[in-house]
Amino acid sequence: MGKTVLLTIVSVFALLAGSPCVRAQVPPELESFQQAAGERSILYRGRQGAKYNVLANGHQYWSKPEFESGDITFEDRFYHNVALNIDAVEQRALVKLANSPFVVALTPDLTPSFTIGESRFVGIGPGENLPAGFYEEFGDGPEHVYKHVYKVVDSNTQNVNGDAIGYYDEHYRSNYTRHFAIHRVYYFRDAEGHVTRFRSRNALIRKFPDRKRQIRQAVNAARQQPAGLGFDDFCKLVLNTAAR
């Protein structure tokens, strides 16, 4: 189903849904869309996800191109077990209609929260105390860490495979001069709701002056593990230890 047809379907559905007087006049394409969406019809009224017709290494997604099952709250309604991803360039939550190439892009101001696998995300709209976009949320106690990932299309004649695009691509194309450059930013929210950006492990530990000893002991113990301790896991460990 082409983009034009899908956009027409969504527009017509927004006008016709819930109107019994025109029920008999609903076109076959709209009937199929309604049946496929079912109770999730409102969720799929957003605009179609962006298409990036650019020859570039990397991709526009937060972590990986594959959509994963998760739960999402959109316009005060909760939807369970839908296919989700994040466009890290436009900062849109992406919802894929089952058995269809149709992908809807949702804005952060209308999407307060969702989960993808074990990861928990929050949407921050314009005018709040963080830049508008989506953030992965760490911590179950009074303090939280927000991880913000955003991407831009950048140009570079050097090999940028690895950290610059966020992963190592076995099919990296050295003849491409553009790539989706990844940026990661971390913020700390204290128990009173104040938010500050931090850039290092020690900076996060200093947020807990009365619990530094316990935190450093936990971090040192974790570093002895063969897998080491990545920055995200470090943040989670600090928050969990501080919340005990």
> Are 102 and 220 in the same domain?
no
- pLDDT at residue number 40: 62
Among candidate residues 166, 181, 199, the one where a domain is terminated: 199
Alpha carbon distances (Å) from 87 to 50, 117, 133 = 8, 17, 10
d(CA 122, CA 119): 10
pLDDT at residue 14 greater than cutoff 60? no
> Are 147 and 59 in the same domain?
yes
> Are 84 and 183 in the same domain?
yes
> Are 34 and 65 in the same domain?
no
Counted domains in the chain? 3
Calculate mean pLDDT across residues 100-107: 87
Q: Confidence class of residue 47 from pLDDT cuts 50, 70 and 90?
A: confident
> Are 146 and 175 in the same domain?
yes
pLDDT at residue 84 greater than cutoff 50? yes
> Are 17 and 95 in the same domain?
no
Q: Which two tokens stand for residue 28?
A: 């076959």
Task: Supply the DSSP symbol for 66.
Answer: S
* CA-based nearest residue to 189, from 93, 90, 122: 122
> Are 72 and 187 in the same domain?
yes
Q: Confidence class of residue 1 from pLDDT cuts 50, 70 and 90?
A: very low
Domain that holds residue 212: 208-244
- pLDDT at residue number 36: 58
> Are 81 and 21 in the same domain?
no
> Are 16 and 59 in the same domain?
no
Comparing 190 with 12, which gets the higher pLDDT?
190
3-state secondary structure of 101: coil
Calculate mean pLDDT across residues 181-201: 97
Q: What percent of the chain has pLDDT over 70?
A: 83
3-state secondary structure of 178: strand
